[in-house]
A and B are shown apart, each in its own frame.
Chain A
Amino acid sequence: GENVEQHPSTLSVQEGDSAVIKCTYSDSASNYFPWYKQELGKRPQLIIDIRSNVGEKKDQRIAVTLNKTAKHFSLHITETQPEDSAVYFCAAGGTSYGKLTFGQGTILTVHP
């Protein structure tokens, strides 16, 4: 089955800095890669996703890049703000297994 590795497990940045979270996946048949943000005590919420026919996607301060050859994708957050502090999960899906496989999560802390 699919295996998704996410790094780093924790990330601490100063307000205004950029943050990058990286994920690798194992199944080359995966073609859908969403990112979820989970604030403390809340539900995971989709913040951006990318499909395998696209190399990069942006939405204001967040962007995701995908390298299908190397089987890795990354989340980039620019001009971080304290409200960006949360756990971020990457996931891979679209194979015959019919499920999303999640990474282990990254705890992002943005210090004011």
Chain B
Amino acid sequence: DTAVSQTPKYLVTQMGNDKSIKCEQNLGHDTMYWYKQDSKKFLKIMFSYNNKELIINETVPNRFSPKSPDKAHLNLHINSLELGDSAVYFCASSPSRAATQPQHFGDGTRLSIL
């Protein structure tokens, strides 16, 4: 039973399109995150939600819009996709917003922009 699940696993699309990635966790955690991992493997936080409330919003283009319908789900919508958006996007969750407990990652969504 996967703890943090993301869909889709792979996403190949054209520049200019709009796409969404979904994430669900069944751990009962309060806090969920989106990370971007580029080709150099650097893990950069994008957003964090705690119990449906946005608590971290890093310097990310406003083409990226997260949505959390409930504390078990966090989705990421990307408008007008650009070549530089190609990366692996990881969803993660943790018990609380304090960042003093382990974060559990999903398997990632590999986004390729043609």
Contact with A along B26-45 (1 / 0, CB 8 A): 00000001000000111111
Q: A32-B100, A44-B90 are in contact. Are A98 and B56 (CB under 8 A)?
A: yes
Contact with B along A66-103 (1 / 0, CB 8 A): 00000000000000000000010100011101111010
Contacts of A38 in B (CB 8 A): 41
Chain A-chain B contacts (Cβ-Cβ < 8 Å), number: 57
Most chain-B CB neighbours within 10 Å: which of A44, A97, A104, A105? A44
B90 touches A98 (CB 8 A): no
Docked complex Cα distance between A46 and B40 (Å): 20
A98 touches B97 (CB 8 A): yes
Q: Which of B40-76 contact A (CB under 8 A)?
A: 40-45, 48, 55-56
Q: Does A28 contact B (CB under 8 A)?
A: no
Give the dominant DSSP class at B's interface.
loop
Contacts of A102 in B (CB 8 A): 42-44
How many of chain A's residues have a CB under 8 angstroms from any CB in B? 24
Pick the residue among B41, B45, B98 that contacts A94 (CB under 8 A). Answer: B98
Contacts of A34 in B (CB 8 A): 102-103
Docked complex Cα distance between A105 and B40 (Å): 9
A45 touches B45 (CB 8 A): no
B45 touches A99 (CB 8 A): yes
- Chain B residue nearest in CB terms to A38: B41
Closest 4 CB pairs of A and B: A93-B99, A32-B100, A43-B105, A94-B100
| A–B pairs, 11, beta carbons within 8 Å | A32-B99, A34-B103, A38-B41, A46-B104, A93-B100, A94-B100, A98-B98, A99-B56, A100-B99, A100-B103, A105-B43
